[in-house]
Amino acid sequence: MNNLHIEMEIPAELVRERIGKLQSAMQAGQVDVYLVTQNVDIYYLSGSMQNGYLFVPGSGEPTFYVKRSLWRAGQETLLRVQELGSFKQFRATLEGDYPELLGADRAPKIACDLDVLPALTYLKLAELLGAPDRCRLIDGSGMIRTLRMIKSSWEISRIERAALAVSESLEEALGELREGVTELEWMALLEYKLRKRGHIGMMRMRGYNQEIATGMVISGAAAAVPSYFDGPAGGLGLGAASPQSVSTMAVKRNEPILIDIGCCIDGYVIDQTRTAVIGQLSEPLMAAYERSEQLLLDAEQHMIPGAICSQLYIDALAGSESAGLADHFMGFGADRAKFLGHGIGLEIDEWPVLARGFDIPLQEGMVIAVEPKFTFPGFGVVGVENSYLIEREGARALTRTPLGLIVLPY
């Protein structure tokens, strides 16, 4: 490996800036240490996604304690890198490196990303670090998720590259979307075109037991089949072990085809949805599709800095109700999703969320996927989704694929 060199991906100044912002938040919350455990959070703060723990003191130099691969972590990050060594000796290692924080007479307040930390690992860490007598372990997930809400120009450029890849790939693949092709066959073709453009092949999610590959391509009634996935569409999937998204069913004419797809480049995702049909939609489905576009444009107009996230959702609910579609908005019955949009970035389910209870104002630098959709059991799902960057003047669409129902020939 001595003849190999891996360039740092995230700019060094951006890593320093993120560490500085986290330390400022820690000081404001009187937190002595942030122990970062999740690979995505570690990547965000260090530029490396190797296996280990990132120790960030309230001030001073962080250390990335790496289990594997130490060599590669050293290539990927400017932060101090040290071998993790025996996990049983982790407290002793930290005491040696940070005696002012974890000395014999110290009981620091240590934040962790507890929303994603497995319970067994938490219990082991608590035992090794001496909680609750020799330290206090608290949840710091809100701190880091809040930090990640605001995207830098470097991050936005990655999301824009992913948006372009989706637009180009979809345009190429639509020529092969015809009656009789299976959902799986066409999705495989689309994914091939995305992979050639740099898609890493996955869309990371933070939510427990939530997962998605590249998205969903679902036709007709199958799209309205509910699943465990927290969204307005489900899909038959490929069996009980994968109960969502594409199946081996063939696409038919005159039924809605929901194309809810993404792309992940350099770790950053774009999320978009378009509806297609081979032939034409029925009048009720067409009316619902047109309402989804209107709800999207209404949200776009009101997504300015200072707008309250929960109000945007409430307004969309009102807009669906005025069209007589309230029962179908974002799902049906007990399986409705209770949001209008969600933040995107390194994960597909970032903050903020356009939903009740998320009463924070939009800020410049947020990137949000807005996805008004309508679900009709027995018929399918129609809707759209664009990803937007919140700028000083308002929302700018990062999605490149034009709006409009995609009508394909027989």
Instruction: Let me know whether 345 and 389 are in one domain.
Output: yes
Domain end residue (candidates: 128, 147, 166): 147
Instruction: Let me know whether 122 and 233 are in one domain.
Output: no
Taking the mean position of all CA atoms in its chain, how far away is CA 291?
26
What does the angle CA 40 – CA 46 – CA 48 come to, to the nearest 5 degrees?
65
Instruction: Let me know whether 256 and 312 are in one domain.
Output: yes
Contact 73, 48 (CB under 8 A): yes
Residue 236's domain is classified under what CATH number?
3.90.230.10
Question: How far lies 91's CA from each of 26, 111, 316, in Å?
Answer: 21, 15, 51
Residue 368 has a pLDDT of 98
**Residue 284, preceding peptide bond in cis (omega within 30° of 0):** no
Q: Which amino acid is residue 286, in one-letter code?
A: M
Contact 169, 65 (CB under 8 A): no
The range of the structural domain enclosing residue 317 comes to 150-408
| 280-314 tens-digit pLDDT | 999 999 999 999 999 999 999 999 999 999 999 99
Instruction: Let me know whether 132 and 155 are in one domain.
Output: no
Instruction: Let me know whether 110 and 164 are in one domain.
Output: no
| 194-210 tens-digit pLDDT | 999 999 999 999 999 99
Residue 106 has a pLDDT of 77
Mean pLDDT over each residue of the chain, to the nearest integer: 96
| 237-282 tens-digit pLDDT | 999 999 999 999 999 999 999 999 999 999 999 999 999 999 999 9
| 12-47 tens-digit pLDDT | 999 999 999 999 999 999 999 999 999 999 999 999
Is 80 exceeded by the pLDDT of residue 1?
no
The answer to whether residue 372 sits within a structural domain is: yes
The answer to whether residue 1 sits within a structural domain is: no
| Mean of pLDDT values over 79-89 | 96
Taking the mean position of all CA atoms in its chain, how far away is CA 272?
12
Instruction: Let me know whether 274 and 137 are in one domain.
Output: no
3-state SS class at 380: strand
Q: Tabulate helix, strand, coil % of the chain (nearest 5).
A: 35, 25, 40
Output the six-digit token pair for 338.
């209770």
The answer to whether residue 275 sits within a structural domain is: yes
Instruction: Let me know whether 143 and 170 are in one domain.
Output: no
Contact 81, 63 (CB under 8 A): yes
Residue 123's domain is classified under what CATH number?
3.40.350.10
Backbone angles phi, psi at 260, to 5 degrees: -105, 100
| Mean of pLDDT values over 208-235 | 92
The answer to whether residue 2 sits within a structural domain is: no
Taking the mean position of all CA atoms in its chain, how far away is CA 32?
29
Residue 222 has a pLDDT of 95
| 146-204 tens-digit pLDDT | 999 999 999 999 999 999 999 999 999 999 999 999 999 999 999 999 999 999 999 99
Domain end residue (candidates: 147, 182, 202): 147
Output the six-digit token pair for 328.
């179908």
Instruction: Let me know whether 195 and 63 are in one domain.
Output: no
The answer to whether residue 7 sits within a structural domain is: no
DSSP sequence for 82-151: EE---GGGHHHHHHHH-HHHHSTT---EEEE-TTTS-HHHHHHHHHHHTTTTT-EEEE-HHHHHHHHHSP
Instruction: Let me know whether 126 and 156 are in one domain.
Output: no
Instruction: Let me know whether 70 and 85 are in one domain.
Output: yes
- Confidence tier at 223 by pLDDT (50, 70, 90): very high
Domain end residue (candidates: 98, 125, 147): 147
Number of domains comprising the chain: 2
The answer to whether residue 392 sits within a structural domain is: yes
Instruction: Let me know whether 238 and 104 are in one domain.
Output: no
The answer to whether residue 4 sits within a structural domain is: no
Instruction: Let me know whether 344 and 382 are in one domain.
Output: yes
3-state SS class at 178: coil
| Mean of pLDDT values over 57-81 | 96
The answer to whether residue 218 sits within a structural domain is: yes
What is the pTM assigned to this prediction?
A: 0.96
Q: Provide the percentage of residues in the chain whose pLDDT is more than 70.
A: 98
